[in-house]
């Protein structure tokens, strides 16, 4: 029922509409009425302990859905055992020009050329400080587009210093094809010093 309505909108607009609906549902307490407890499965069989982190269940939401830490609590409310926000860069950035998200209906897929659009580490840190996560929270860190790979370590550290205290774990993103030269950081001579 909702999918056909969302498909009337451009993909990125549909994504923003979904985020807004989640936030509205939390504010009006509709999440518990619509979802109830059906998706909130609690079972010792599903619990996992990984790297000292307790996961209520092993199904999580990866980075990209909630880039700016605006609805991670809502994702926990619908049953995710962990949520990863981001990708977050040290500096706020608009990402690539629109359109940058494309549907492939026959393949039931999307092409993502977003380019790390996000509000920046300082804004995300304020949101995370204001709302503790009810589930383990990952923060995905990327390099700011306006900074070169030679500045990457300082750029990642700038984000890290603002966000580490809110994260259960951190992901260092060096794989996006949408940030110029970012994947060059995967080379051992670049990656080892970065980590």
- Using CA atoms, how far apart are residues 82 and 133, in angstroms rounded to an integer? 9
Structure tokens at 49: 């302990």
- Using CA atoms, how far apart are residues 101 and 158, in angstroms rounded to an integer? 28
DSSP per residue, 35-89: HTTTT----TTT-EEETTEEESSS-EE-TTSSTTSSSHHHHHHTT-SEEEEEEEE
Active site residue 176: yes
Number of H helices, E strands in the chain: 7, 8
Q: Could you say which of 133, 144, 168, 176 is catalytic?
A: 176
Structure tokens at 123: 């804004």
Residues 75-88 as b/e (b if ≥16 CB within 10 A, e otherwise) read: bbbbbbbbbbbbbb
Active site residues per annotation: 176
């Amino acid at each position: 029922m909702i999918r056909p309505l969302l498909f009337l909108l451009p993909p990125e607009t549909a994504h923003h509409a979904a985020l807004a609906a989640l936030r509205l549902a939390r504010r009006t307490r509709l999440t518990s009425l619509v979802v109830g407890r059906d998706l909130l499965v609690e079972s010792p069989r599903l619990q996992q302990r990984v790297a000292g982190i307790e996961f209520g269940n092993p199904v999580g939401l990866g980075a990209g859905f909630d880039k700016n830490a605006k609805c991670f609590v809502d994702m926990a409310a619908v049953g995710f055992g962990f949520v990863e926000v981001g990708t977050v860069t040290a500096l706020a950035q608009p990402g690539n020009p629109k359109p940058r998200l494309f549907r492939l209906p026959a393949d039931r897929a999307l092409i993502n050329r977003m380019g790390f659009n996000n509000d920046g580490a300082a804004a995300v840190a304020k949101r995370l400080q204001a709302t503790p996560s009810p589930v383990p929270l990952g923060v995905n860190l990327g390099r700011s587009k306006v900074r070169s790979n030679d500045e990457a370590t300082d750029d990642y550290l700038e984000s890290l210093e603002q966000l580490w205290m809110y994260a259960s774990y951190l992901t260092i993103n060096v794989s996006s094809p949408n940030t110029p030269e970012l994947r060059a950081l995967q080379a051992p001579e670049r990656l080892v010093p970065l980590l």
